[in-house]
Structure 1
Amino acid sequence: MATSLGLTACSSGDSADSSIVTTNAGEPQNPLVPTNTNENMGGRVVDRLWSGLKYYDASGAAHNEVAQSIESTDRKNYKITLKDWKFSDGTPVTAKSFVDAWNFGALSTNAQLQSYVFNPIKGFKDVSAEKPTAQTMSGLKVIDDRTFTVELESPSIDFETGLGFAPFYPLPEVAYKDIKAYGENPVGNGPYKFASNGAWQHNVQIDLVPNPEYKGGRPAKNKGLRFVMYQTFETAYQDLLAGNLDSLDVIPDGALASYKKELGDRAITKPIAYKAAIGIQTNTPHFGGEEGVLRRKAISMAINREQISENIFRGTRVPAKDFTAATLPGFDGNLPGSEVLKYNPEEAKKVWAQANAISPWSGTYEIAYNSDGGHQGWIEATANSIKNTLGIEAVGTPYPTFKNIRDLINGKTINKAFRYGWQGDYPTMLQFLTAQYYSFSETNNVNYNSPEFDKLLNDALAASTQDESYKIIAKAQALLFKDMADIPMFDYAAAAGRSDKVKKAEMAWNGLFDFEGIEK
């Protein structure tokens, strides 16, 4: 999930009911529709409002949730049987609730950001084309109210694991009457629901209360959640220290040297499935074709990640070694081509000169970042490293909010480099790679387009064993290094905290709190 590490409004001016858990957040980019929410701030709310066929616990293990059973003998054909379940408005969750939602998400004319996840399902190509030849995927069949079947184009080692991911959530009939209005006041089937019609105060807060219809394995252990939107992490941290905020998932850079002492046993540190990168789209001048490959490699080798990690992040960031995250099963830190992630000034200058031989460099290398995300320090340090190594003008370029920068990236109009992150949606390397680098993925931020890479991912999905899949993934990542799809920067270790009013707040595998389990 694209990540903001951003907070967009103001400190919590009015105090929540003392039994409600207050937690940091930011303004979601879009209305809260699961298939169109691909960023952190909307995602943390969506995952509280909905239940999927599966859910992921704090360690990342998948468990059946709405699914009574998911049966397959070949990992290509699935029979899914549902539990008796209801949406928060009391209407039943049926097989049709899932099938209709998946078809809606896949249909190209609905322009959903998460449509790529349906690629394995038979008939996806017919509904996802620019001019679709069908309105529904042929691989989905409703058998009865509690049963549906799924046929994939080929066997998938990742499909069942991914069924707890947000785009696979069900939708009630009411959603399709006006999907945008529905997203402003959604009806879901998860452990929480909107507190009232005015629950979403834009740029201020979102209030959720426990959903009495929820009967699953992650019931709320609190009386509700208030997602409070801040302008800065510094303000959020001061509220945490003062007891005005119950949980904060990102300690600001300026407090990393002191937060453990200030919070004591309320400080939280944990390696997580979270990566930071610098992307630049191929329609940006000097960054298309072979010239672009050379420039991305040169810039990567011009960045002293170790120094930035230590000086800015106090070791809570670790220099990246691949395009996924070091905590994921199958991770390999010694991939062919990964030497471009090491600081190598002389080689960086040499490769930059090779790019200049194709087309002489002109202008300034800009790295866009959202001001509300606490990124200024590391972006400026990165720009200085590039400037000092390559002898070019390099600067950080701030944008006011995460939404501002995401709209430009999604619109392919940002025309400069940009920082972005990816927070795992489910704990596999394929989730990171399919989302970010499949040529047809709406969440491919950098316009990477390689039929060879797409085929390798498809082969990895079709592998008969995890070990075989990991070997193919390694080949796919070696190709990403050859093409230098983007510039991996850091893996994250969470630096977070809870207030003295909270007795339990566990950090999950992906760097978000286990919100249901937070106890006052």
Structure 2
Amino acid sequence: MRGITPWKVAVGLTAVALAAAGCTSTPEPETPKNDGSFIISWGEPQNPLVPAGTSETQGGVVIDALFTGLTNYAAADAKTEMANAESITSADGGTTWTVKLKAGWKWHDGTPVTAKNYVDAWNYAAYTPNGLINGTFFGDIKGYTDVTSEDPDGEGPKEAPKPAKDKMDGLKVVDDTTFEVTLSGPSNLWPIKVGYSAFMPLPDVFFKDPAAFGQKPVGNGPFKLDTWTKNVELKVTRNDDYQGADKPKVKDVIFRVYTDDAAAYEDVKNGQIDFQQQVPSAKLIGDLYKTDFPSASSNKPVSSSAFIAMPTWLPGYNDPKVRQALSMAIDRKLITEKIFNKTRIPANGWVNPNMAGYKADVCGEFCTFDAAKAKALFESATTKPKEISLAYNGDASHKDWVDAVCNSIQTSLGVPCVGKPFPTFGEFRTLVTTQKMTGMSRAGWQADYPHIENWLNPLLKTGASSNDGKFSDAAFDAKLKEADGTADLAAAEKLYQDAEAMLPALMPTIPLWHTSQQSVWSAKLGTVTINTFGELDLATVTVK
């Protein structure tokens, strides 16, 4: 699904030198309880629950329960399926798209879902004074530049100029169930992108009080918000008027906040809660999680990868040589073997292998461990940090792998490297997105849609929503723009590959590893489906 993941992964380090297709389980047949409930471990979201304002997984999983957009991605293979849309068609090769909605859909407050709800939501998200983090996803719509402006000094006192307009020229309501989207250039990737939650609609009630809405959202999805006690739990209940095909099998789902995933694991084991998306890595050693959950666990590759975000605006980190040297100083193979028990694959590029357009070994020598070359390259840099830090959220167990990465860097380069924990995921992400970090920071990316473009534009284009390091390169941006405006999907993929091939010389972030996910659940659950993004498919879960 989305952006920077909290990585609820406990990393249990044994004694090492470094002090690292849909999956469905259907056990024996039992009559499911249509009015049952279950509890999953969760983390408090960074932002209010507004689709285009949510770019991390904890808020995202709730957004996906409460809202349904034009399309969904199939759990087994992530192929695009129509959801609220009846059809999405283009008669001119991909520049103008006509979207027809299915009739009869309603918001949780009983009002109809209309074409205007989409157009209003997208205009609101794109308009930069509204401050929604996913606004850049609308950048290919005609008139986007008219509704955006750039802040001249970031967090400084100067205000960004007011955009020329507050509505994009490329959006037009035709009737209650039809709207047209005109892009700035042809793109046949666009119908794939719109399954991401940033493109979900908003009801009229949102615009009366956006701040209040974010605390108690009114959606159009398979579940309705019941209660939300901050930092404790959030409860959703089935929407019996839901018109989509993915109707829930249970009545209630409770998202319970945990700041210790080892405790969450034990609570699943003891039947106190029912699902943990990623087990602590201490339970990976010797496949202990399989022993604890012999018929209630899964292990599968997912569309998620780990990176280190680099503060390219800071002296010492603004030289690509420094960033390349830091990457070469990390022994990915040893860390993934000893800490993650070979459940992670060392990355040699910026795109997850499950994506359309993926190409192997793009990063080359700069993602290959070589302490001697790393030190020589580091020493050749004109300006370099005298001490290195790697920040992470302390409410998930990142400490051991962060310490391992730092130990590898320090041993290779001879420069002190320390892990820097922050208490909660939300606090950590706020410091990252406001450029308050003074060193490197951990990052994870879970695909929003299964295409190479999703690993480049949102993460590395100038000003993009999840460009944590504020990386900017005009030639790279130009290549992305060329790819964005190419109608033929195969030709566009090649251009995105060309853009990725530019990254080793620039080293905007450090790719670490690609993820296989190990999930566990209680004996209470019957059917459990993990989609290709690594998320529990809430609609298909049954309870015994």
Place the TM-score, normalised by the shorter chain, in its bin: over 0.9
Question: Could you report, residue by residue, the CA deviation over 1:464-487 in whole angstroms, capped at 9, with x for unpaired residues?
Answer: 433322221221111121100110
> Aligned to 2:181, which of 150, 155, 159?
150
- 2:310 corresponds in structure 1 to 280
In 2, the alpha carbon distance for the partners of 1:478 and 1:149 equals 35
- Asked whether 1:49 is paired with 2:66, we answer yes
Superposed displacement of residue 18, structure 1: 8.9
Structure 1 157/373 Cα, relative in aligned 2: closer, same or farther at 3 Å? farther
SS of the equivalent of 1:350 reads helix
- Counterpart contact for 1:32–1:183, Cα < 8 Å: yes
- Asked whether 1:83 is paired with 2:83, we answer no
SS of the equivalent of 1:281 reads coil
In 2, the alpha carbon distance for the partners of 1:269 and 1:500 equals 18
- Counterpart contact for 2:9–2:281, Cα < 8 Å: no
- 1:11 corresponds in structure 2 to none
- 2:263 corresponds in structure 1 to 235
Instruction: State, as a whole percentage, how many aligned pairs show the same letter.
Output: 34
Q: How does 1:187-336 map to 2 (within 5 A)?
A: 187-195=218-226, 199-257=227-285, 258-288=288-318, 292-335=319-362
- Asked whether 1:354 is paired with 2:380, we answer yes
In 1, the alpha carbon distance for the partners of 2:459 and 2:444 equals 10
- 1:14 corresponds in structure 2 to none
In 2, the alpha carbon distance for the partners of 1:273 and 1:25 equals 19
- Counterpart contact for 1:247–1:505, Cα < 8 Å: no
Question: Could you report, residue by residue, the CA deviation over 1:187-239 in whole angstroms, capped at 9, with x for unpaired residues?
Answer: 000000112xxx11100111001112211121112122111110111001001
Superposed displacement of residue 361, structure 1: 4.2
> Aligned to 1:107, which of 119, 124, 127?
127
> Aligned to 2:412, which of 371, 382, 389?
389
Q: How many residues of Structure 1 are paired with residues of Structure 2 in the alignment?
A: 502
Superposed displacement of residue 455, structure 1: 1.9
Superposed displacement of residue 157, structure 1: 2.8
> Aligned to 2:209, which of 174, 178, 190?
178
Query: What residue identity is the alignment partner of 1:305?
Result: R
Give the TM-score normalised by the residue count of structure 1: 0.94
Query: What residue identity is the alignment partner of 2:383?
Result: S
SS of the equivalent of 1:445 reads coil
Structure 1 360/127 Cα, relative in aligned 2: closer, same or farther at 3 Å? closer
Q: How does 1:360-439 map to 2 (within 5 A)?
A: 361-362=385-386, 364-439=387-462
Superposed displacement of residue 52, structure 1: 0.3
- Counterpart contact for 1:157–1:461, Cα < 8 Å: no
Query: What residue identity is the alignment partner of 2:55?
Result: N
Residue range with higher mean Cα deviation, 324-333 or 134-143: 324-333
- Counterpart contact for 2:9–2:280, Cα < 8 Å: no
Superposed displacement of residue 502, structure 1: 0.9
- 1:58 corresponds in structure 2 to 75
In 1, the alpha carbon distance for the partners of 2:434 and 2:504 equals 25
- Counterpart contact for 1:21–1:518, Cα < 8 Å: no
Compare relative contact order (CA 8 Å, sep 6+) and give the higher one, 1 or 2: 2
Superposed displacement of residue 461, structure 1: 2.6
Query: What residue identity is the alignment partner of 1:417?
Result: M
Superposed displacement of residue 427, structure 1: 1.1
Give the TM-score normalised by the residue count of structure 2: 0.90
Query: What residue identity is the alignment partner of 2:196?
Result: F
- 2:367 corresponds in structure 1 to 341
- Counterpart contact for 2:462–2:471, Cα < 8 Å: yes
- 2:23 corresponds in structure 1 to none
Superposed displacement of residue 112, structure 1: 0.7
- 1:72 corresponds in structure 2 to 90
- Counterpart contact for 2:141–2:182, Cα < 8 Å: yes
Question: Could you report, residue by residue, the CA deviation over 1:14-51 in whole angstroms, capped at 9, with x for unpaired residues?
Answer: xxx99212111100011101111001100010011001
- 2:170 corresponds in structure 1 to 139
Superposed displacement of residue 346, structure 1: 1.2
Superposed displacement of residue 77, structure 1: 0.4
- 1:3 corresponds in structure 2 to 5
Structure 1 361/334 Cα, relative in aligned 2: closer, same or farther at 3 Å? closer
- Counterpart contact for 1:52–1:170, Cα < 8 Å: yes
Superposed displacement of residue 334, structure 1: 2.5
In 2, the alpha carbon distance for the partners of 1:33 and 1:401 equals 21
- Counterpart contact for 1:7–1:229, Cα < 8 Å: no
- 2:145 corresponds in structure 1 to 125
Query: What residue identity is the alignment partner of 1:294?
Result: K
In 1, the alpha carbon distance for the partners of 2:378 and 2:189 equals 39
Residue range with higher mean Cα deviation, 439-448 or 463-472: 463-472
Question: Would you tell me which structure has more helix in proportion to its own residues?
Answer: 1
Superposed displacement of residue 58, structure 1: 0.9
Q: How does 1:471-482 map to 2 (within 5 A)?
A: 471-482=494-505
> Aligned to 2:52, which of 12, 35, 46?
35
Q: Structure 1, unaligned stretches of length 5 or more?
A: 9-16
In 2, the alpha carbon distance for the partners of 1:23 and 1:423 equals 19
Superposed displacement of residue 6, structure 1: 4.0
- Counterpart contact for 2:315–2:384, Cα < 8 Å: no
Query: What residue identity is the alignment partner of 1:274?
Result: S
Structure 1 7/295 Cα, relative in aligned 2: closer, same or farther at 3 Å? closer
In 1, the alpha carbon distance for the partners of 2:535 and 2:408 equals 31
- Asked whether 1:450 is paired with 2:473, we answer yes
- Asked whether 1:161 is paired with 2:192, we answer yes
